[in-house]
A = this chain, B = another copy of it.
């Protein structure tokens, strides 16, 4: 009734909720901690408690991708961790570039959390000559015309846009011309992109709004 090491089932037309993907990411961080403590097996209840969701939610999220546990025994920590990373595409390293060397771009360029999860920032680009040539930690700020070469050299598929809103669409177009297929957009505007390009818009205020919602609705 169990598959040793789990198996990642083929993705059908099945649409996986984004919330599930976010939680998988959270589970894998938790499993990483658990594994470091030398724990071999874990139940959905333990995972649920560790990350603050219900055990049923953990089982449902994992069930989208196959069967990873043994009834009455639980999950093998290392196997589950490996499988979740594979589902998320994190069993390989991704090269990423940041466009916009302002405060946010610079902060993201050196954000330790990216490296830990397999994201390697290989360049920060900006058109401001007063920034070009400077380094953010060990990453050089380069002019925009060097972007095509870097993208090609490192086979970069992911770009992070942190330029002001009015330049965001131009930057997105430029990224797409250069075969970047995934964009994380911090500029507060909607980007128009071809269908095969994946865009994720990040608005940091949403996080504060969830806090205010919880504050005013507390008990």
Contacts and interface: CB of A to CB of B under 8 A. Distances in A.
A114 to B, nearest CB: 6
Interface in A196-219: 196, 198, 200, 202-218
Contact of A182 (B11, B21, B96, B215): B215
A166 B203 CA distance: 27
Contacts of A16: 213, 217
A89 interface: yes
A104 B111 contact: yes
A103 interface: yes
Contacts of A116: 188, 205
Interface residues of A, number: 59
A106 interface: yes
Nearest to A217: B11
Contacts of A108: 204
Interface in A66-105: 87-90, 94, 96, 102-104
A122 interface: no
Interface string A132-150: 0000100000000000000
A198 B184 contact: no
A33 to B, nearest CB: 9
A114 B204 contact: yes
A103 B107 contact: yes
Given A90-B212, A218-B196, A184 B207 contact: yes
A25 interface: yes
B104 A208 contact: no
A29 interface: yes
Contact of A210 (B200, B205, B214, B215): B200
A-B pairs, 8 with minimum CB distance: A89-B212, A103-B107, A89-B216, A104-B107, A117-B205, A107-B107, A182-B211, A113-B205
Interface of A: 11, 16, 18-19, 21-22, 24-26, 29, 87-90, 94, 96, 102-104, 106-108, 110-114, 116-117, 119, 136, 157-158, 160, 181-184, 188, 196, 198, 200, 202-218
